[in-house]
Protein backbone atom coordinates (compact mmCIF):
# COMPACT_ATOMS: atom_id res chain seq x y z
CA UNK A 1 0.00 0.00 0.00
CA UNK A 2 1.40 3.40 -1.02
CA UNK A 3 1.02 6.09 1.65
CA UNK A 4 -0.90 9.21 0.75
CA UNK A 5 1.05 12.48 1.19
CA UNK A 6 -1.32 13.62 3.95
CA UNK A 7 -0.41 10.51 5.95
CA UNK A 8 3.26 11.59 6.17
CA UNK A 9 3.53 15.31 5.44
CA UNK A 10 7.22 15.67 6.42
CA UNK A 11 8.19 12.93 3.96
CA UNK A 12 5.89 14.26 1.23
CA UNK A 13 7.26 17.79 1.34
CA UNK A 14 10.85 16.58 1.78
CA UNK A 15 10.63 15.25 -1.79
CA UNK A 16 10.53 18.80 -3.17
CA UNK A 17 13.60 20.57 -4.42
CA UNK A 18 14.59 18.22 -7.24
CA UNK A 19 13.90 17.44 -10.88
CA UNK A 20 10.58 15.74 -10.13
CA UNK A 21 8.97 18.71 -8.39
CA UNK A 22 6.19 18.90 -10.98
CA UNK A 23 5.13 15.34 -10.26
CA UNK A 24 5.44 15.84 -6.50
CA UNK A 25 3.26 18.95 -6.60
CA UNK A 26 0.73 17.06 -8.72
CA UNK A 27 0.54 14.35 -6.08
CA UNK A 28 0.22 16.93 -3.30
CA UNK A 29 -2.59 18.71 -5.11
CA UNK A 30 -4.36 15.44 -5.84
CA UNK A 31 -4.19 14.33 -2.23
CA UNK A 32 -4.60 17.56 -0.28
CA UNK A 33 -6.87 19.59 -2.59
CA UNK A 34 -8.32 17.14 -5.09
CA UNK A 35 -10.24 19.01 -7.81
CA UNK A 36 -10.28 22.15 -5.70
CA UNK A 37 -11.74 20.54 -2.59
CA UNK A 38 -10.40 21.21 0.91
CA UNK A 39 -10.39 18.49 3.56
CA UNK A 40 -9.58 18.17 7.24
CA UNK A 41 -6.24 16.68 6.16
CA UNK A 42 -5.47 19.78 4.07
CA UNK A 43 -4.93 22.20 6.95
CA UNK A 44 -1.88 20.55 8.59
CA UNK A 45 -0.02 21.21 5.32
CA UNK A 46 -0.08 24.97 5.93
CA UNK A 47 3.14 25.13 8.02
CA UNK A 48 5.02 23.27 5.28
CA UNK A 49 3.53 25.46 2.56
CA UNK A 50 4.35 28.65 4.45
CA UNK A 51 7.96 27.49 4.85
CA UNK A 52 8.21 26.94 1.09
CA UNK A 53 6.56 30.26 0.25
CA UNK A 54 8.95 32.19 2.48
CA UNK A 55 12.07 30.39 1.25
CA UNK A 56 12.70 28.38 4.42
CA UNK A 57 12.16 25.08 2.60
CA UNK A 58 12.69 23.96 -1.01
CA UNK A 59 9.85 24.12 -3.49
CA UNK A 60 7.98 26.58 -5.68
CA UNK A 61 6.58 29.59 -3.77
CA UNK A 62 3.81 30.06 -6.34
CA UNK A 63 2.50 26.51 -5.88
CA UNK A 64 2.76 26.89 -2.12
CA UNK A 65 0.81 30.15 -2.12
CA UNK A 66 -1.89 28.87 -4.48
CA UNK A 67 -2.44 25.72 -2.43
CA UNK A 68 -2.40 27.66 0.83
CA UNK A 69 -4.86 30.21 -0.49
CA UNK A 70 -7.33 27.52 -1.48
CA UNK A 71 -7.02 25.85 1.92
CA UNK A 72 -7.33 29.08 3.90
CA UNK A 73 -10.38 30.14 1.88
CA UNK A 74 -12.21 27.20 3.50
CA UNK A 75 -11.03 27.90 7.06
CA UNK A 76 -13.48 28.47 9.88
CA UNK A 77 -12.66 30.81 12.78
CA UNK A 78 -10.97 28.07 14.80
CA UNK A 79 -8.67 27.01 11.95
CA UNK A 80 -7.94 30.63 11.03
CA UNK A 81 -6.77 31.25 14.58
CA UNK A 82 -4.75 28.01 14.73
CA UNK A 83 -2.82 28.87 11.57
CA UNK A 84 -2.65 32.64 12.04
CA UNK A 85 1.17 32.72 12.01
CA UNK A 86 1.30 30.86 8.71
CA UNK A 87 -1.31 33.15 7.16
CA UNK A 88 0.60 36.21 8.34
CA UNK A 89 3.74 34.88 6.65
CA UNK A 90 1.92 33.96 3.44
CA UNK A 91 0.15 37.28 2.85
CA UNK A 92 3.17 39.42 1.80
CA UNK A 93 4.41 36.64 -0.48
CA UNK A 94 1.01 36.44 -2.16
CA UNK A 95 0.92 40.21 -2.61
CA UNK A 96 4.38 40.21 -4.20
CA UNK A 97 3.45 37.39 -6.57
CA UNK A 98 0.22 39.23 -7.46
CA UNK A 99 2.17 42.38 -8.32
CA UNK A 100 4.33 40.32 -10.67
CA UNK A 101 1.41 38.52 -12.39
CA UNK A 102 0.97 41.04 -15.19
CA UNK A 103 0.87 38.65 -18.17
CA UNK A 104 -1.18 35.69 -16.94
CA UNK A 105 -4.86 36.43 -16.28
CA UNK A 106 -5.72 33.10 -14.58
CA UNK A 107 -2.66 33.33 -12.29
CA UNK A 108 -3.60 36.92 -11.46
CA UNK A 109 -7.14 35.92 -10.48
CA UNK A 110 -5.98 32.90 -8.46
CA UNK A 111 -3.47 35.06 -6.59
CA UNK A 112 -6.08 37.75 -6.04
CA UNK A 113 -8.24 35.11 -4.36
CA UNK A 114 -5.25 34.02 -2.27
CA UNK A 115 -4.66 37.55 -1.03
CA UNK A 116 -8.33 37.85 -0.08
CA UNK A 117 -8.21 34.49 1.70
CA UNK A 118 -5.15 35.47 3.72
CA UNK A 119 -6.87 38.75 4.62
CA UNK A 120 -9.81 36.81 6.03
CA UNK A 121 -12.35 37.31 3.22
CA UNK A 122 -14.44 34.15 2.74
CA UNK A 123 -16.81 34.80 -0.19
CA UNK A 124 -14.78 36.03 -3.17
CA UNK A 125 -11.65 34.15 -2.11
CA UNK A 126 -13.48 30.83 -2.48
CA UNK A 127 -13.24 30.38 -6.26
CA UNK A 128 -15.97 32.86 -7.19
CA UNK A 129 -13.64 35.21 -9.08
CA UNK A 130 -12.57 32.51 -11.53
CA UNK A 131 -15.42 33.34 -13.88
CA UNK A 132 -13.51 36.55 -14.62
CA UNK A 133 -10.93 34.79 -16.79
CA UNK A 134 -13.48 32.24 -18.04
CA UNK A 135 -15.58 35.28 -19.09
CA UNK A 136 -18.84 33.79 -17.92
CA UNK A 137 -20.90 32.79 -14.90
CA UNK A 138 -23.67 30.26 -14.67
CA UNK A 139 -26.43 31.06 -12.17
CA UNK A 140 -30.18 31.11 -11.59
CA UNK A 141 -32.52 34.05 -12.04
CA UNK A 142 -33.66 35.00 -8.52
CA UNK A 143 -37.21 35.63 -9.77
CA UNK A 144 -38.06 32.73 -12.09
CA UNK A 145 -35.18 30.29 -11.39
CA UNK A 146 -34.23 30.13 -15.06
CA UNK A 147 -30.68 28.83 -15.56
CA UNK A 148 -28.69 31.71 -17.01
CA UNK A 149 -25.30 32.24 -18.57
CA UNK A 150 -23.77 35.64 -17.90
CA UNK A 151 -21.23 36.25 -20.67
CA UNK A 152 -18.79 39.13 -20.94
CA UNK A 153 -16.01 38.60 -23.43
CA UNK A 154 -15.35 37.11 -26.84
CA UNK A 155 -18.97 36.01 -27.33
CA UNK A 156 -20.44 39.37 -26.30
CA UNK A 157 -21.97 40.88 -23.18
CA UNK A 158 -25.37 39.47 -22.28
CA UNK A 159 -27.48 37.18 -20.13
CA UNK A 160 -28.76 34.08 -21.91
CA UNK A 161 -31.12 31.34 -20.78
CA UNK A 162 -29.50 28.69 -22.97
CA UNK A 163 -26.23 27.49 -24.49
CA UNK A 164 -25.08 30.63 -26.26
CA UNK A 165 -22.01 28.91 -27.79
CA UNK A 166 -23.76 26.30 -29.93
CA UNK A 167 -27.28 27.75 -30.08
CA UNK A 168 -28.98 31.13 -30.36
CA UNK A 169 -31.18 31.44 -27.27
CA UNK A 170 -32.93 34.63 -26.09
CA UNK A 171 -30.48 37.17 -24.70
CA UNK A 172 -30.67 40.37 -22.70
CA UNK A 173 -27.94 43.00 -22.33
CA UNK A 174 -25.86 43.35 -19.20
CA UNK A 175 -25.86 46.52 -17.12
CA UNK A 176 -22.27 47.00 -15.95
CA UNK A 177 -21.47 49.02 -12.86
CA UNK A 178 -19.76 52.37 -13.11
CA UNK A 179 -16.33 51.82 -11.49
CA UNK A 180 -16.75 55.05 -9.53
CA UNK A 181 -19.86 53.67 -7.80
CA UNK A 182 -18.45 50.28 -6.77
CA UNK A 183 -18.44 49.31 -3.09
CA UNK A 184 -15.04 49.28 -1.37
CA UNK A 185 -14.03 45.66 -2.05
CA UNK A 186 -15.12 45.54 -5.72
CA UNK A 187 -13.55 48.97 -6.24
CA UNK A 188 -10.27 47.73 -4.82
CA UNK A 189 -10.36 44.62 -7.03
CA UNK A 190 -11.08 46.78 -10.07
CA UNK A 191 -8.19 49.16 -9.27
CA UNK A 192 -5.83 46.26 -8.73
CA UNK A 193 -6.71 44.67 -12.07
CA UNK A 194 -6.56 47.96 -13.96
CA UNK A 195 -3.18 48.92 -12.49
CA UNK A 196 -1.79 45.49 -13.38
CA UNK A 197 -2.87 45.96 -16.99
CA UNK A 198 -5.55 43.25 -16.88
CA UNK A 199 -8.16 45.28 -18.71
CA UNK A 200 -10.41 42.30 -19.47
CA UNK A 201 -10.46 41.33 -15.78
CA UNK A 202 -11.21 44.92 -14.77
CA UNK A 203 -14.05 45.07 -17.31
CA UNK A 204 -15.34 41.73 -16.10
CA UNK A 205 -15.51 43.06 -12.55
CA UNK A 206 -17.88 45.81 -13.67
CA UNK A 207 -20.18 43.10 -15.02
CA UNK A 208 -19.78 40.81 -12.02
CA UNK A 209 -20.70 43.68 -9.72
CA UNK A 210 -23.24 45.13 -12.12
CA UNK A 211 -26.74 43.95 -13.00
CA UNK A 212 -28.23 41.52 -15.51
CA UNK A 213 -31.70 41.22 -17.00
CA UNK A 214 -33.28 37.79 -17.20
CA UNK A 215 -34.39 37.19 -20.81
CA UNK A 216 -37.16 34.88 -19.55
CA UNK A 217 -38.95 37.15 -17.07
CA UNK A 218 -37.30 40.57 -17.62
CA UNK A 219 -36.23 40.84 -13.97
CA UNK A 220 -33.09 42.91 -13.37
CA UNK A 221 -30.87 41.68 -10.55
CA UNK A 222 -27.34 42.12 -9.13
CA UNK A 223 -25.09 39.49 -10.66
CA UNK A 224 -22.76 39.31 -7.64
CA UNK A 225 -25.59 38.45 -5.26
CA UNK A 226 -26.42 35.33 -7.26
CA UNK A 227 -22.78 34.35 -7.80
CA UNK A 228 -22.19 34.66 -4.04
CA UNK A 229 -25.04 32.21 -3.43
CA UNK A 230 -23.45 29.62 -5.68
CA UNK A 231 -21.74 26.87 -3.64
Q: How far is CA 184 from CA 78, 88, 187, 190, in A?
A: 27, 23, 5, 10
pLDDT for residue 1: 27
Rounded Cα–Cα distance for residues 72 and 202 (Å): 25
Q: What are φ and ψ of residue 223, in 5° steps? A: -60, -45
Contact (Cβ atoms closer than 8 angstroms) between residue 141 and residue 221? yes
What length is written for the chain? 231
Residue 137: strand, helix, or coil: strand
Mean pLDDT taken over the chain:
94
**What percentage of residues in the chain have a pLDDT greater than 90?**
89
Q: List alpha helices for the chain, DSSP H.
A: 9-14, 21-32, 46-53, 61-73, 77-82, 84-100, 105-118, 131-134, 184-195, 199-208, 223-229
Give the pTM. 0.93
pLDDT for residue 6: 61
Q: What are φ and ψ of residue 181, in 5° steps? A: -105, 0
Residue 157: strand, helix, or coil: strand
Successive 10-residue mean pLDDT values, the chain, 231 residues = 64 93 95 93 97 97 98 97 98 98 96 98 97 96 96 94 78 96 98 97 98 96 96 79
pLDDT for residue 5: 61
The pLDDT tens digits of the residues spanning 45-70 come to 999 999 999 999 999 999 999 999 99
Amino acid sequence: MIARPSEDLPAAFARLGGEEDGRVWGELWDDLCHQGSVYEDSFPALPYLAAIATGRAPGAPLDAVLMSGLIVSAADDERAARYADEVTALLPVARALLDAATDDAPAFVYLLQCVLAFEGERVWSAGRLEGLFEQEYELECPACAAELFIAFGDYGFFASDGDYVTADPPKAPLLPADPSTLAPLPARLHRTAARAGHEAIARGLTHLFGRAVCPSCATAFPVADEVARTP
